[in-house]
Structure 1
Amino acid sequence: MSLPSGLEKPLLRFYEYLRSERELSLHTQQNYKRQLTTMAEQLVNLGVDNWQAVDAGWVRQLASKGMRDGLKASSLAMRLSALRSFLDFLVGQGELKANPAKGVSAPRKARPLPKNLDVDEMDQLLSVDENDPLSVRDRAIMELMYGAGLRLSELVSLNVKDVSLSRGDLRVIGKGDKERIVPFAGLAREWVGHWLRVRDQLAAPGEPGLFVSKLGQRISNRNVQKRMAEWGQKQAVSSHINPHKLRHSFATHMLESSGDLRAVQELLGHANLSTTQIYTHLDFQHLAQVYDEAHPRAKRQKR
């Protein structure tokens, strides 16, 4: 499509600016040209023939058109970013008083939900019957992550003094250095006890970390991730195993059994309930049912 001069000439000046002054790569220049040409053609179809006529309403129409055309959120964000850069250029050239695309943003990228393991898969993963110190450590790590819903960083930063086997609780430092006390029981408590009995075979003198590597120092995040993936393969679990998946499985199974969203929020250390709601992919029907059954003014009045 041939563009009206009021749309095309400013674009050509911008492309020259990208080439000679910004010295962007050819690939980046082509991306800008592709995105801006598409939007210019859409403006022509909407009856707009110069950039001075473009206001925030027109920009929103371009964004809506991109959504209707099936653009992903990331692709639409890239398109609007190219438009903002071009209109900033026109503002700098004195051809526009303000950039009408400044206040228009792409919809947020959908947050992918983590996958959880079902109870049978968890049993399969945790059926570690080897009794060498590293295997005992690894099972204790996995039992604790699934049994207490810890973040990887929280697990790695645990010290021996943070664990009370007699009370069955952990002192955990979460995001924002917020401290919380987390209960753990059953097999998690049992296997942490097994690990503490053999820990001195690996730990260097004076090492405070609860879980240590074979070098005797506090275990690293990467080491935990690597060992979990290896155990997933060794135990023939169908999906890839990582620490976040165990935390998510804890949250999902706790919520399915209890229906207590607020308690799960506290256990996970989430500042906002909405985070827990997304994290546990709780469906609205279940939320509505809990609300209807629990809220005193939501219950139907008897007649």
Structure 2
Amino acid sequence: MTATSIDAFLAMLAAERGAAANTLAAYRSDLAGAEALVGPLADAGQEDLARLAAAWADLSPATLARKSSALRQFYLFLVDEGLRADDPSTALPRPATRRPLPRILNHAEIARLFARAEEEAVAGTMPGVRMLALLEMLYGSGLRATELVSLPLTAVPRDVPFVTVTGKGSRQRMVPVSSRARTALTEWLTVRPAGTRHLFPGRTGAMSGHLTRIRLYQLIRELAARADIDPARVSPHVLRHAFATHLLEGGADLRVLQTLLGHADIATTQIYTHVDAARLVALVNERHPLAGRAHSP
């Protein structure tokens, strides 16, 4: 019964939420691990689930939260489908976790990265022009590393300033491309190796493949070192964080930011609000209807 219930739960995640294969595999692993400890999950009661707290005592808060979340969603599915009348997941541990604040680069460091990339691209060599195009897309459009390296050549239309991106859960979105990035991409297309359908091909000879995430990570760190920035502080994801943080500082709406980043949940986007507390306080003081009214004596 449990195996069938787990399969049905995973099928629901795939069909209704567009969960990716890696996400489904993680859910299956967490559910199977819990089942190995307490027996068939579909028949488990609160006392059974309470035993998990001791079994999971040595896990990190983040891992414990993830496993508990998987079980809660599983039992909510069983109740919604009429496969159980009760929800025993209230007995699961609820660790207090904090999402780590994103690492970012400041405006001066971003300027140094671009200055170095632009200097190297002037010669018109394939590596230099490619590096500038990659940097423009990471910081200028906030793409994930996987989204960027897997872009097909057809994703870049010639007549509109957008690219079509396939993100997590195979969800597609339109991402604006700045005039700077369009110029960099146009230059890249003039030196880009032919014979592959990807915008950023992989190594010579791998005509069907694209630049790997690992190679992109290496290229970004090598550029950081040449720009006199600690390479350990720089990665494609750090540039994505910088894109979001600097947009928010510039007055971007959180919902707009959510769309640009491809976040399914606004709660994921809200992590960026920590960086701009001073601007928000100033905004309230300047724009609120009571801001200009003095207290009566």
Structure 1 length as normaliser, TM-score? 0.59
List alignment gaps of at least 5 residues for structure 1: 1-55, 60-65, 82-98
Residue 231, structure 1, aligned to residue 220, structure 2: no
What is residue 25 of structure 2 aligned with on the other side? none
- Cα distance in 2, alignment partners of residues 220 and 139 from structure 1: 17
Matched, 1:183 2:176: yes
State the alpha-carbon separation in 1 of the partners of residues 107 and 139 from structure 2: 11
Aligned identity (percent) is 35
Deviations 1:133-163 (A, max 9, x none): 0221111111111110001111112111110
Report the 3-state secondary structure (helix = DSSP H, G, I; strand = E; otherwise coil) of the residue aligned with 1:271.
coil
Q: How far does residue 180 in structure 1 lie from its aligned partner after superposition?
A: 0.9
In structure 1, C-alpha distance between the alignment counterparts of 2:292 and 2:128, rounded to whole Å:
59
Does 1:264 pair with 2:252?
A: no
Residue 156 of structure 2: aligned partner: 163
Higher-Rg structure is 1
Kindly indicate whether residue 186 of structure 2 is the aligned counterpart of residue 221 of structure 1. no
1:222 corresponds to which letter in structure 2?
I
Partner of 2:101: 113
CA distance in 1, matches of 2:224, 2:243: 17
**How many residues are treated as equivalent by the alignment?**
208
Q: After TM superposition, where is structure 1 displaced by more than 4 Å over at least 4 residues in a row?
A: 75-78, 282-294, 298-303
Q: What residue identity is the alignment partner of 1:136?
A: V
2:243 — aligned with what? Answer: 250
Determine if contact 2:222/2:231 at 8 Å carries over to the other structure. no
The residue that corresponds to 1:122 in the other structure is 110
1:73·1:107 contact (CA, 8 Å) conserved in 2? no
Change (3 A) 1:161 1:259: closer
Q: Within 1, Cα distance between the matches of 2:93 and 2:107?
A: 45
Alpha carbons 1:248, 1:280 under 8 Å: kept: no
**CA distance in structure 1 between the partners assigned to 2:284 and 2:258 by the alignment:** 17
After superposition, the C-alpha distances for 1:235-274 in whole angstroms (9 at most, x for unaligned) are 2113532100110111011110124212111111112222
CA RMSD of aligned residues (A): 3.5
* Residue 132, structure 1, aligned to residue 125, structure 2: yes
Instruction: After superposition, give the CA deviation of every residue in 1:188-225 in whole Å (9 maximum; x if it has no partner).
Output: 111111101111xx34x2x1100113314311111111
Q: Which residue is 1:208 aligned to?
A: 197
Distance 1:138 1:76, change over 3 A: closer
**What is the alpha-carbon distance in structure 1 between the residues aligned to residue 165 and residue 286 of structure 2?**
33
